Amino acid sequence: MVGISSIGYMVLGVSDPARWTSFLCDLLGMQVSRRHADGSVGFRVDDCEQRLVLRQSPDDELQVFGWELTTEYELLEMVERVRSKGHAVEEGDAALAAARGVHRVFSCQDPCLHYVHEFYCGARCFAPTRAFQSPLVRGGFKAGALGLGHAALTSPDYPRSVRFYQDVLGLGVSGYADAPGPEGRRMVATFLHGAGGRHHLLAVLPGGQPKPTRHLMVEYQQLDDVGLAYERCVANGVSIERSFGVHEGDEMFSFYAMTPSGYLMEVGYGGATGEKWNPVTHLELSRWGHKKPVMVAA
């Protein structure tokens, strides 16, 4: 069994779709690709029809993970695996598959958090004549087989969440952290990877916040695009919560901006990829940087 390849898509519940659309398109360089009958909006970052979906909701939270399996055979193996571990899995109907832009989709509920986990294969992609091109992102997004990016979340039952993602979903451990956090508190985390190559698809931390999502990450192909996105965020009054830095573990050069929903978006370049990881415990989160910017009076 090869297992989950990547986070192929995410569905976000947002209270202000207009602000989010501006954030994604005008600042990060994504493009609107679909407007659904229920009012939700799909965005593309590569040749897949949609990677991110916004739908109106007062939650202002990540709601759905779309986990990509590369073949229908692997998808059905995943469904059987999850069911064999005692979790109910339902197949989505044709309408859900069409809304997600995939061939076939199944879903289950996270045992600790509000997330719905969807497993799918056969994402719809545009022909080369309609390849993704953004006037803002010179080199494009680093997606494709790597998927949309990663997510960091907190769980009130950290051991149970890690067991679920590792033992039920089949994600592998790529590393741990036991390090000073940005708020001065010790931060413990487990980083989990799939088969697609990213260092981690999930970073799971202990915590009891009402909203478990800490940040999402998208990655560019070129370093300059990170700097340009940073300048657009600053020029448009977006709060930069952590300025430029390089992480241990995935070696990502990035900054963190506040999203319209109150959690962070990590915007990065140069994340490490591979098939096998040595799961060491990092005693520092970053080699340098990722500090709250200090404003100096003129």
Per-residue pLDDT of the chain (298 residues; tens, 9 = 90+): 479 999 999 999 999 999 999 999 999 999 999 999 999 999 999 999 999 999 999 999 999 999 999 999 999 999 999 999 999 999 999 999 999 999 999 999 999 999 999 999 999 999 887 889 999 999 999 999 999 999 999 999 999 999 999 999 999 999 999 998 766 778 899 999 999 999 999 999 999 777 899 999 999 999 999 999 999 999 999 999 999 999 999 999 999 999 999 999 999 999 999 988 999 999 999 999 999 887 644 4
Nearest 5°: the CA angle 273, 275, 278 is 90
**Of 173, 283, 264, 148, residue with least CA distance to 213:** 264
Tokens of 204: 């799971």
Residue 80's nearest CA partner among 108, 56, 100 is 108
The DSSP H or E segment spanning 84 is helix 72-84
**DSSP 8-state code for residue 164:** I
User: Which residue, 40, 33, 36, is CA-closest to 12?
Assistant: 40
**Contact residues for 258 (Cβ-Cβ < 8 A; gap 6+):** 238, 239, 240, 241, 264, 265
Contacts of 184 (CB under 8 A, 6+ apart): none
pLDDT at 298: 47
Q: Could you give the count of Cα atoms lying within 13 Å of 276 in the half-sphere of its Cβ?
A: 1
pLDDT for 295 equals: 62
Write the CA distances from 295 to 17, 33, 128, 269, 292, integer angstroms: 30, 38, 45, 25, 9
> Would you say 53 and 11 are in contact if contact means Cβ atoms under 8 Å apart?
yes
Contact indicator for 6, 200 with CB cutoff of 8 Å: no
How far apart are alpha carbons 194 and 1 in whole angstroms?
Answer: 12
Domains of the chain: residue spans and CATH = 6-130 (3.10.180.10), 144-289 (3.10.180.10)
CA 49 to chain centre: 17
Long-range contacts made by residues 128-136, C-beta under 8 angstroms, separation at least 24?
A: 128/47, 130/47, 131/47, 132/31, 132/44, 132/45, 132/46, 132/47, 134/29, 134/30, 134/31, 135/29, 136/26, 136/28, 136/29, 136/228, 136/229, 136/232
Dihedral sign for Cα 237, 228, 289, 176, please. Answer: positive
Whether the Cβ atoms of residue 40 and residue 21 lie closer than 8 Å to each other: no
